[in-house]
């Protein structure tokens, strides 16, 4: 399986790896380690470049596979040989926007849970924008304004963000993680990665995040919709 470097260092822009296997059907290589995020949890996959012996292989996307992370390269490039040494170079502009956005979603989730006790029922994101569904019976423009002010107060608070990888049994002892449906994790997963916004939020999470909430920048709660009797959708955008 591929070692996931981004789990402990989201700021890696370049890394070295070895080609472990090829997937001819997907036109992809499997590396022994990677800093490319393969998508999941609402966060889109990374893009970038693989460099091998002076050749450049544009990365279409990274993707989870049964034997590791698939690094899908453009079809008009022959795949590098197994055993080749690869330099991976991330599309850093895309990655950093995704990091800011993902952290913004955690700020939104943590603030609403703290202030209103509302659980998350769904969510999705793309670079610099996202949406989350919450267990609210009603939603108004006035409440949206309150939420907007509250989340931006947390951005300005410059809260540190800490990542930890815990044994499954230890993670289950953290009460707040239950709202992220940690109990649905497959039994074979022995370790759980947690992301903590110090003083605000603590969740099981596999995505990439910034080091401090101040990096997120101005958050704008731009819209809301009713998605059911006790399900309201909130839309957020970030400045460039």
Would you give per-residue pLDDT tens digits along the chain (240 residues)? 899 999 999 999 999 999 999 999 999 999 999 999 999 989 999 999 999 998 999 999 999 999 899 999 998 888 999 999 999 999 999 999 999 999 999 999 999 999 999 999 889 999 999 999 999 989 999 999 999 999 999 999 999 999 999 988 888 788 766 555 445 566 667 888 999 999 999 988 999 999 999 999 999 999 999 998 889 999 999 999
The count of C-alpha atoms lying within 13 angstroms of the C-alpha of 125, restricted to the half-sphere facing its C-beta, is 30
Domain finish residue from 58, 90, 122:
90
Overall size of the chain counted in residues: 240
Q: Are residue 33 and residue 128 in the same domain, yes or no?
A: no
Between CA 111 and CA 213 the distance in angstroms is 13
Q: Are residue 83 and residue 146 in the same domain, yes or no?
A: no
Residue 230 CB partners (closer than 8 Å, separation 6+):
135, 136, 137
Tell me how many domains the chain contains. Answer: 2
Between CA 38 and CA 3 the distance in angstroms is 12
State the pLDDT at residue 181.
Answer: 46
Q: Are residue 83 and residue 127 in the same domain, yes or no?
A: no
CATH label of the domain that carries residue 40:
2.40.30.130
CATH label of the domain that carries residue 197:
3.30.980.10
Q: Are residue 226 and residue 121 in the same domain, yes or no?
A: yes
State the pLDDT at residue 169.
Answer: 82
Q: Are residue 144 and residue 233 in the same domain, yes or no?
A: yes
Q: Which domain holds residue 75?
A: 3-90
Q: Are residue 14 and residue 76 in the same domain, yes or no?
A: yes
State the pLDDT at residue 178.
Answer: 53
Between CA 105 and CA 129 the distance in angstroms is 9
Helix (H) or strand (E) holding 64: strand 55-65
State the pLDDT at residue 172.
Answer: 77
State the pLDDT at residue 168.
Answer: 82
Q: Are residue 66 and residue 163 in the same domain, yes or no?
A: no
Q: Are residue 111 and residue 192 in the same domain, yes or no?
A: yes
Q: Are residue 78 and residue 146 in the same domain, yes or no?
A: no
Q: Are residue 76 and residue 101 in the same domain, yes or no?
A: no
Q: Are residue 108 and residue 225 in the same domain, yes or no?
A: yes
Q: Is the pTM of this model over 0.85?
A: yes
Q: In what order do the strands lie in the sheet with 129-134?
A: 120-126, 129-134, 232-238, 219-226
Domain finish residue from 70, 90, 110:
90
Domain finish residue from 27, 58, 90:
90
State the pLDDT at residue 179.
Answer: 54
Q: For the stretch 144-181, what's the b/e string if a residue is b when 16 or more beta carbons lie within 10 angstroms of its beta carbon?
A: beebbebbbebbeeebebebeebeeeebeebeebeebe
* Residue 101 φ/ψ, nearest 5 degrees: -65, -45
Q: Are residue 85 and residue 99 in the same domain, yes or no?
A: no
């Amino acid at each position: 399986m591929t070692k996931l470097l981004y789990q402990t260092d989201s700021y890696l822009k370049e890394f070295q790896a070895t080609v472990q296997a090829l997937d001819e059907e997907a036109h992809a290589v499997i590396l022994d380690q990677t800093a490319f995020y393969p998508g999941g949890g609402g966060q889109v996959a990374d893009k970038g470049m693989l460099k091998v012996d002076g050749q450049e292989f544009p990365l279409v996307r990274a993707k989870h596979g049964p034997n590791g992370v698939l690094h899908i390269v453009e079809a008009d490039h022959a795949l590098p040989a197994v055993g080749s040494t690869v330099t991976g170079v991330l599309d850093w502009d895309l990655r950093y926007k995704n990091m800011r956005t993902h952290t913004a979603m955690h700020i939104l989730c943590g603030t609403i849970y703290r202030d209103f006790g509302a659980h998350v029922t769904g969510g999705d994101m793309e670079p610099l924008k996202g949406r989350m569904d919450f267990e609210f019976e009603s939603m108004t423009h006035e409440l949206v304004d309150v939420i907007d002010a509250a989340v931006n107060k947390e951005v300005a608070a410059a809260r540190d963000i800490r990542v930890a990888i815990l044994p499954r049994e230890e993670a289950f002892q953290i009460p707040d993680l239950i709202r992220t449906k940690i109990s649905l994790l497959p039994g074979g997963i022995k370790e759980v990665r947690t992301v903590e916004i110090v003083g605000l939020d603590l969740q099981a999470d596999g995505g990439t995040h910034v080091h401090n909430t101040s990096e997120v920048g101005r958050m704008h709660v731009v819209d809301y919709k009713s998605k059911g009797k006790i399900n309201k959708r909130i839309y957020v955008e970030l400045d460039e």
